Amino acid sequence: MKIYEDRMAPNPRRVRIFMAEKGIPIEYVQVQIAKGEHKLPEHIQKNPLGLVPVLEMDDGTYLSESVAICRYFEEQKPEPSLFGTNAKERAFIEMWQRRMEIELLFYMAGCFRNTHVFFKGRIPQVAEYGEVCRKAAEKRLEWLDKELEGREFIAGDKYSIADITALVAVDFGRISNIRITPEQKNLQRWHQTVAARPSAKA
Amino acid sequence: MKIYEDRMAPNPRRVRIFMAEKGIPIEYVQVQIAKGEHKLPEHIQKNPLGLVPVLEMDDGTYLSESVAICRYFEEQKPEPSLFGTNAKERAFIEMWQRRMEIELLFYMAGCFRNTHVFFKGRIPQVAEYGEVCRKAAEKRLEWLDKELEGREFIAGDKYSIADITALVAVDFGRISNIRITPEQKNLQRWHQTVAARPSAKA
């Protein structure tokens, strides 16, 4: 098996952190978005949407979508569990993973895609919408700081895939100058904890 | 248990269809977004993000996020399976469920939210971005039509949660006048099949 990815993009980082936490070694093949390699027929044949990461399975099938790839490996190697160990825990981790994705990562991405020079000419940019995303992301950070009062990780007292998505989202915000503020002590503390794990450098 | 929802909104419909397919009866309580009931303290205490649906569990905890709710009930009542029956099937259904959500439903929602009079004054609308979403959604419908060539359902030969998300997305597109074109025969055939299931009226 191997994973096609771009080390510069946020979604592949989610999978690399996940694999590092699981202790699963795998081959990574770079598909450079900056060079347009994700739009070449060779990659489109793996994922018609031209996105990374893509997992190539041993039988030659291709699995896209970061969370689908993570979930697949969660089943192949259940320990340490990153999606939860019983139905209720799994449901709440899913809720938090989705919140971190939809309410944080997607706004970070919306700001970056619509305001950064990297995407100029690549996609139809709407700067005004990028600023809407920036404000929404900042509001969500405020909210998340309150949620983290008295709780170590995003979904409760255990590190989970929700922390991975949140870490990638927060770090990805920097390129758009969206940052945890000095007043957001809970968020600061959480970020220090998760960023200090060896997996954060994967 | 009960579910707080708004019958007019697309995400609650995903859960209602899912519950109907599973044959799980549950009480639904209406929270009318048009009347601002989702922003009242009573609802914010259930979901601080002010979104529906929310599942109230028997122990009084509240679970948000449509897919988290569906996944919880998939575990409570595995048959008929809507998330897949083995690791690989689950991975590919997850991939398709996410594609239908991120690449279709979210663009439909982006168009509606940014162009429809319903949201005027409720959120900062950026009409230009709404039109970007419209074009993206139309492009995704073209792509999906090709994908459905020779295949009955979104994720393969079995009806799954990916079909539920896709049905809700396609039907939700109508309010923004985003529609399956007469030339998109595979998509037409698929829509007829899934819209004819009793669950579609749930």
Q: Per-residue DSSP letters for B31-50?
A: --GGGTGGGSHHHHTT-TT-
Q: Do A99 and B67 touch (CB under 8 A)?
A: no
**Nearest-Cα residue of chain B relative to residue A54:** B95
Query: pLDDT of A155-182, one tens digit each?
Result: 999 999 999 999 999 999 999 999 999 9
Q: Taking the model in full, what pTM does it have?
A: 0.98
Q: Do B65 and A147 touch (CB under 8 A)?
A: no
Contact call for residues B149 and B188 (beta carbons, < 8 A): no
Per-residue pLDDT of chain A (202 residues; tens, 9 = 90+): 999 999 999 999 999 999 999 999 999 999 999 999 999 999 999 999 999 999 999 999 999 999 999 999 999 999 999 999 999 999 999 999 999 999 999 999 999 999 999 999 999 999 999 999 999 999 999 999 999 999 999 999 999 999 999 999 999 999 999 999 999 999 999 999 999 999 999 9
Interface residue B171 vs chain A (CB under 8 A): no
Residue B55, helix vs strand vs coil:
strand
Name chain A contacts of B132, Cβ cutoff 8 Å: 124, 126, 129
* A54-56 sheet: strands from edge to edge: A27-30, A2-5, A54-56, A62-64
Q: What is the mean pLDDT of residues B41-67?
A: 97
Contact partners, residue A194, CB within 8 Å, separation at least 6: A153, A159, A163, A166, A167, A200
Q: List residues bridging with B27 in a β-sheet.
A: B2
Helix (H) or strand (E) holding B56: strand B54-56
How far apart CA A166 and CA A83 sit, in angstroms, is 14
Identify the pLDDT of residue A142. Answer: 98
Q: Do B68 and A91 touch (CB under 8 A)?
A: yes
H helix runs in B57-126, sequence order = 66-76, 87-100, 106-115
What's the angle, vertex CA B46, arms to CA B104 and CA A104, rounded to 5? Answer: 45
Identify the pLDDT of residue B36. Answer: 95
Q: Do B64 and A95 touch (CB under 8 A)?
A: yes
Residue among A57, A76, A94 whose CB faces B68 most closely: A94
CA distance A146 to chain B (A): 11
Identify the pLDDT of residue B113. Answer: 97
Identify the pLDDT of residue A76. Answer: 97
Helix (H) or strand (E) holding B144: helix B127-147
- Which tokens belong to A166? 């949140």
Name chain A contacts of B144, Cβ cutoff 8 Å: none
Contact partners, residue A35, CB within 8 Å, separation at least 6: none
Identify the pLDDT of residue A91. Answer: 97
Residue B178, helix vs strand vs coil:
coil
Name chain B contacts of A91, Cβ cutoff 8 Å: 63, 68-69, 71-72, 75
How far apart CA A9 and CA A29 sit, in angstroms, is 13
Q: Do B94 and A71 touch (CB under 8 A)?
A: yes
- Which tokens belong to A16? 């690399």
Other beta carbons within 10 angstroms of residue A158's beta carbon come to 17
**Nearest-Cα residue of chain B relative to residue A76:** B87
Interface of A with B in 55-84 (CB under 8 A): 57, 63-65, 67-69, 71-72, 75-76
Identify the pLDDT of residue B75. Answer: 97
Q: What is the mean pLDDT of residues B169-192?
A: 98
Identify the pLDDT of residue A8. Answer: 95
pLDDT-derived band at B2, boundaries 50, 70, 90: very high
How many residues are there in chain A? 202
Tell me the three-class secondary structure of A168-187, residue by residue: HHHHHHHHHCCCCCCCCHHH
Long-range contacts of the stretch A22-28 (C-beta < 8 A, 24+): A22/A73, A22/A74, A22/A77, A22/A80, A22/A82, A23/A77, A24/A73, A24/A76, A24/A77, A26/A1, A26/A2, A27/A1, A27/A2, A27/A3, A28/A2, A28/A3, A28/A4
